[in-house]
Structures are given as structure tokens and as C-alpha cells.
Amino acid sequence: MNSIKTVSALGIMSSTSYEGIGLAQIVTDGIDIKSFGPAYITPFDEELLEKIRKIDGHKAVESPEMANQIREVEIAFTNFCAELVKGYREDHNESIDVIGFAGHTICHKPMEHYTHQIGDGKMMTELTGIKTVSGFRNADILNGGQGAPFTPIYYEALTSKCVRPLVVIDIGGTSHISWFGANGEIIAFVSGPGNAVINDWVMKHGRMNVDYNGRLAILGKIDEHILTSLMHHKYLSQLPPKACDRTMFNEKMEHLEGLSLEDGAATATAFVAESIVAAMAQFLPEQPKEVYVCGGGAKNPTLMRFLRQRLPGMVVKTTDEKGWNVDAIDAQAAAFWAVRRLNHLPLSYPFTTGVPMPCICGELFEK
């Protein structure tokens, strides 16, 4: 067994809610976080974003034509991310030992033992000259896991000095709940819809990538009848461990058709909040004292307001309010994953992804 080494890692995480690509640097041994480096989110290039939208939900095995289309987008995506790394290095005089390249999930169907993240780790190493770890979800899926969530192992390190029980909610394209008990217990799962249902609605009906600051939702009225219907989605009652991708709720969201732009945004936003609260009530062994929210959803004041209204007995904070940069956490997690792979430490566990045994994840590419 190699000795545990502390290194400087740069994480790259792409949002499945299309909000951008995050870069963040940490110094870590994959167990403890020694220090935090610069971090920010860069919006997608519009042409690249449109290409990603066209392949989202598709499998490379559908046809040779689809496989070629996905590969073309993967090359463009990897080139775009490599340019971000180049710019990062020019802007910040920081040494980088390894890149954690999480890629962009276009299809995640754990019940079919299938997952696909675009992002070529070998190409990233060739373009940047830095060793890269990518393909994190593949080993977990192949070993019978759900392939998500992986962030709990990073949250466990991040919140190690906090009072427990506590919950971290990551609201990206979908929503992930990570519960940490007072005696070291961890339960984690993908609870249901996230920003994708909101963003897809406002893109379709308002030609906007996101509901900026929840301004549409705050002006709208929640359709309680439709919300009740949405909450009957079969995924929400499925027992953890469980995971899904952003397309899981597409069919149900057709129920919003006929609503105004604002009412649709309000109802979609309420669906995200309601599904999170229902999952916490149904699947957590003990309700937390504090809840920390990260991901793009933490930057939506209306969504945060809906959560706080539905969790009146808890302190609900964004990670920014706790002092952890909300724009950095997901990318920091990817950096953390890469270092765990370098140090041969597991990334997924029975209590996070349902994999039968702790699983070392990620493929390492070196110069």
C-alpha cells in the first residue's frame, strides 16, 4: 500500500442544470482538507451548450450516428475545459499535481447499469500536461452501485467539525441529500428533481437558461393540484440507495403546460423543495439540527425560501452563509475524488451508492 500523500488538486465539475463549469483547487490527502485555493464558475459557450442539450438523455449505443455525435461533443467539451484550465493557470500562480475531471453526465440509468459522462481524461492530460482522473462513476456502476452520489465523502470531510446530525443538500440538475449522524453514520441518495425542471421550463417558455434569482417563481402562484400530481412520481417513493439523471422527471413536467411562465416556474420550484422535504421526512433516521444547501439551487432565493418554509424547525443555510463558497463545492469535490483515487481510497460505499463493498473509483491518466 502506497503512503497517503497530500497534493494540490484542481477539480472540474460541469452542471447538469446547464449553469456552467466550475473549477476549484484544494490541497488534500483525500481524507482531510488542508487548504482551499481559487474557485469560480464559467458559463457554457452557447454553441457548446446547444450541442450538449441535443445529446442529453441519449446513449452512445443507440446508433453509430449517435455515438459519433456524442464523441464530437465530448471532444469539444474537453477542449473547452482544457482552455479553462489554461486560463486558470495563467490567472493563478498555483501548482497543480492532479486534475479531477468529473465530466458532464448526459445519461445516468443505474437500473440499466449504464452511465455516461462526456469528458476525455486522456485528452485532458495531453492538452494540459497534468495527470488527470476521470470516469469516476464507471467502477461503481459495474460493481452494482447506483453510480451516485459521490459528494458525501467530501461533505463528510468538509463538515467534520459541525454539530450533528446535519444534512447537506446539493441542488444541481437533480437534488442530492447527504445525512451525517452523531455517531459517524452516513446516508446519501439522489432525492429527486433539482434545477433542471426549473431551468427546462424557463428555457422552453421564456428562452432563459435559468430563473435568475428565482424572480419568475416569486411572481408566480403555485398550482397546488399540479404539485400534488408531481409528487406522485414513482421515483420519489423508491427506497434509497437510489440515483437518477435530469431526464427522470421530464414526462411529469408536461403537467405544467398551460400555466403562465411565472406560475410554471413557481410550481416547478415548489416541486423541488417539496420533494426534498418529503425525502428527508421519509428516509432519514433522525431529522437534522442544521441543513446546508449548495449547488446552483443555493443561489435561488425563492427556492431557499420554499425550503425554509417547509423546514420550520431547522436552521437552513446556504454553504456561503456557513463560509464555504457555494460556487466552489462541487468542483472541490471532484478534486477530492481525484486525490482519493491517487491514494487508493474508496469513493463509494454501500451507504451512499448501494455498491456491495467500498469501491475505488476513477481512471488515472498520466503524461
pLDDT in tens, 43-67: 999 999 999 999 999 999 999 999 9
Strand pairing class (174-180; 114-118): unpaired
Nearest to 212 by CA among 310, 302, 328, 273: 302
Packed helices 64-91 and 121-128: angle between N→C axes, nearest 10 degrees: 30
Query: Could you tell me where the beta strands, DSSP code E, fall in the chain?
Result: 7-14, 21-28, 33-42, 98-101, 104-109, 114-118, 132-134, 166-171, 174-180, 186-193, 290-294, 315-318, 363-365
DSSP calls for 206-268: H--SS-GGGHHHHHS---HHHHHHHTT-HHHHSPSS----GGGGTTGGGGGTTS-HHHHHHHH
Q: Which CATH class is domain 7-150+327-365?
A: alpha beta
Asked if 20 contacts 42 with a C-beta cutoff of 8 angstroms, the reply is yes
Q: Where are the domains of the chain?
A: 7-150+327-365, 159-322
Q: Would strands 114-118 and 33-42 be described as parallel, antiparallel, or unpaired?
A: unpaired
Measured in degrees and rounded to the nearest 5, phi and psi for residue 249 equal -105, 10
Burial of 351: CB neighbours in 10 Å, binned 0-12, 13-18, 19+:
middle
Average pLDDT over residues 324-342: 96
Give the separation between CA 77 and CA 111, rounded to whole angstroms.
Answer: 27
- Taking a C-beta distance cutoff of 8 angstroms, is the pair 98, 11 a contact? no
**Beta carbons of 80 and 48 less than 8 angstroms apart:** yes
Residue 301, preceding peptide bond in cis (omega within 30° of 0) = no
Can you tell me the mean pLDDT for 326-353?
A: 97
CA–CA separation, 150 and 4 (whole Å): 20
Q: Is the CB of residue 342 less than 8 Å from the CB of residue 98? A: yes
Average pLDDT estimate for 200-226: 96
Do 159-322 and 7-150+327-365 fall under one CATH topology?
yes
Query: Residue 354 phi/psi, 5° resolution?
Result: 85, 5
Average pLDDT score over residue span 224-247: 96
Higher pLDDT, 359 or 93: 359
Query: How far apart (Å, rounded) are the C-alpha atoms in residues 323 and 319?
Result: 6
pLDDT value at position 17?
A: 85
pLDDT 10s digits, 139-197: 999 999 999 999 999 999 999 999 999 999 999 999 999 999 999 999 999 999 999 99
Distance CA 177, CA 149 (A): 9
Arithmetic mean of pLDDT over the chain? 96
Q: What is the mean pLDDT of residues 353-363?
A: 97
CATH class of 159-322: alpha beta
Radius of gyration in angstroms for the set of CA atoms belonging to the chain, rounded to a whole number: 19
Q: Which residues, 6 or more positions from 107, have their beta carbon under 8 angstroms from its beta carbon? A: 56, 57, 58, 59, 114, 115, 116, 245, 247
The answer to whether residue 263 scores a pLDDT higher than 60 is yes
Tell me the mean pLDDT in the region 217-242. Answer: 97
Q: Classify 120 in phi/psi space as left (phi over 0), alpha (psi -120 to 50) or beta.
A: beta
pLDDT tens digits for 75-128?
999 999 999 999 999 999 889 999 999 999 999 999 899 999 999 999 999 999
Q: What is the mean pLDDT of residues 196-212?
A: 94
Query: What is the mean pLDDT of the segment spanning 16-28?
Result: 94
Which pLDDT does position 1 carry in this prediction?
47
Instruction: Provide mean pLDDT across the span 38-43.
Output: 95
**pTM of the predicted protein model:** 0.95
Q: Which residue has the cell 495527470?
A: 131
pLDDT band at 2 (very low <50, low <70, confident <90, very high): low
What's phi and psi for 192, nearest 5 deg? 160, -145
| Contacting residues for 130 by C-beta, under 8 A, at least 6 apart | 10, 85, 96, 97, 98, 99, 124, 367
Helix 261-283, helix 195-206: angle, nearest 10: 170
Quote the CA–CA distance of 261 and 309 in Å, as a whole number.
23
